[in-house]
Amino acid sequence: MHLFLLLLSTSLAAEPAIAPGVELVYRGSVAQLGPDRAPLEAEKSFELYLFCDAADAAGSSWYWAVYEQGRGSWPWSERFGRWQLDSEAARADGPPPSLLYNHGDGRSVIPLPPPLLVPPVALSEGAAWESDELAFEVGASERLADREAWPVRVRNAYGHKRTVWLDKDAGLVQAVDERVFMGMGTEYLLRVRLAASTSLQPSEQEAVRAGFKSLLALRGKLSRPPLSDEERWSEADQRLLDAELPALQQKLSKGPLARMVQSAARDLELAASRKARLEDLAAEYQGRAVEAFEAAGLNGARLARDDLQGRVTLLHFWEYRDTPLEEPYGQVGYLEFLYSRRKEAGLKLYGVAVDSRLADEAGRSQAVAGVRKLKAFMNLSYPILLDGGELLAKFGDPRVVGGALPLFVLVGPEGKILHHHVGYYDVDPQQGLKELESLIDQALRESGKK
């Protein structure tokens, strides 16, 4: 069980202590712990907004919104939601609020706990209980933020997990400190503090409900999968947002969701600007003769400009790291499928593992080991080249204009770039990367290879 609000109750069947229409605001931070286990300077802060839509003995319904600053964040479409809690404050339906933290070696999701807990005992100093393999114990009363609070210490099998300070009068959690582990076991401190608690007037409640319903309806029309951290939007989604977002901005110009729609509008503007820059980059490189280069890779793989002559060659620039390993894995599985279908027709395919550590002797061995593990994990048969960034620069690094890998570059038999594509392709259920395969087939036909 997690804690943000702790209901003062001696029975699981008691009436809920939180009434519909209550608005809560929590502010917090995430900081890495130093060698002495003291928190370093926080590199991430956030605000959690909660609105209780309904509550009775059977459970409660909540709308939530999260605003993040620093060390990564979810796209706006994943920063709000609605979730249902049952009578024991367990999540019954809907995604909970969470943070997305970039710790350098990848990104980790930090769940923010449900707002309610129904304890099986009355709270007093020394009170204790166990639930879901967690042990709870109430300490001596403390004064926190000019309020008397019960500190509730929570332990798991590995030791102390979190401390919660519960307001003795209002039944609200005033503060939470929780241990969080990310990356290669690095310990962080999640710190949460109650900033505001307000009972909204009926008209205000209806405005909040209507705002959340409108945002949820808009998100339901998008083609993105749930909890996607992809920053780019499909063309269809961009057209939808272009059409519907302006009216939503006017409707939600005030209130707790005003910042959310403003963020959505900014993201849309950035996406359009990034798309235009990537189109300009593709236009700059398509038709260009490949510059001189030489590259080496795993298991003796080598490639130079002269090797491109008389061949149709596809270069796939991606990180090729074994960690963090996240779908769609750079689409390398679909590339392997494509390669198996077209290598006999003359297609040459090279994966290019792009990693700045490859240019540094201190980090090179670790980077190479990660590429080997990824190749084995995905059972890739095509050769993998290693690049610290120099080769990518010769083919148009999309990162310099705000894009991100993967980059697909199709080179014709005359050594000229035929196709330059940043990002993922749409996947056809039967053919996989249908658009890319069609371009390859055309190049093979024109070269006389098919």
Q: Mean pLDDT in runs of 10 for the chain (450 residues)? A: 40 54 95 92 95 89 95 93 81 86 85 74 91 92 88 93 85 87 91 93 96 96 86 84 93 92 89 90 96 95 96 96 83 95 95 93 91 95 96 95 93 96 88 93 85
Same-domain pairing of 367 and 267: no
Domain span at residue 132 reads 22-199
The pTM (predicted TM-score) of the whole model is 0.76
* Domain annotation covers residue 10: no
Q: What pLDDT was estimated at residue 10?
A: 33
Tell the burial category of 292 from Cβ atoms under 10 Å away from its Cβ (0-12, 13-18, 19+).
exposed
Same-domain pairing of 117 and 186: yes
Residues 6+ apart with CB under 8 A from 232: 271, 274, 404, 423
**CB neighbours (10 Å) of residue 337?**
15
Q: Which of 250, 268, 285 is the C-terminal boundary of a domain? A: 285
Report the domain count for the chain: 3
* Domain annotation covers residue 11: no
Residues 6+ apart with CB under 8 A from 258: 252
DSSP element (H, E) containing 272: helix 258-285
Same-domain pairing of 193 and 253: no
Q: What pLDDT was estimated at residue 328?
A: 85
3-state secondary structure of 257: coil
Tell the burial category of 382 from Cβ atoms under 10 Å away from its Cβ (0-12, 13-18, 19+).
buried
Which two three-digit tokens encode residue 83?
């979730």
Same-domain pairing of 263 and 325: no
Which two three-digit tokens encode residue 322?
């074994």
| Neighbour-count burial for 311-334, b at 16+ CB within 10 Å, e otherwise | bbbbbbbbbbbbeeeeeebbbbeb
Same-domain pairing of 266 and 299: no
Q: Which of 262, 285, 308 is the C-terminal boundary of a domain? A: 285
Same-domain pairing of 30 and 167: yes
Q: What pLDDT was estimated at residue 448?
A: 78
| Cβ-contact 308, 440 below 8 angstroms | no
Q: What pLDDT was estimated at residue 3?
A: 42
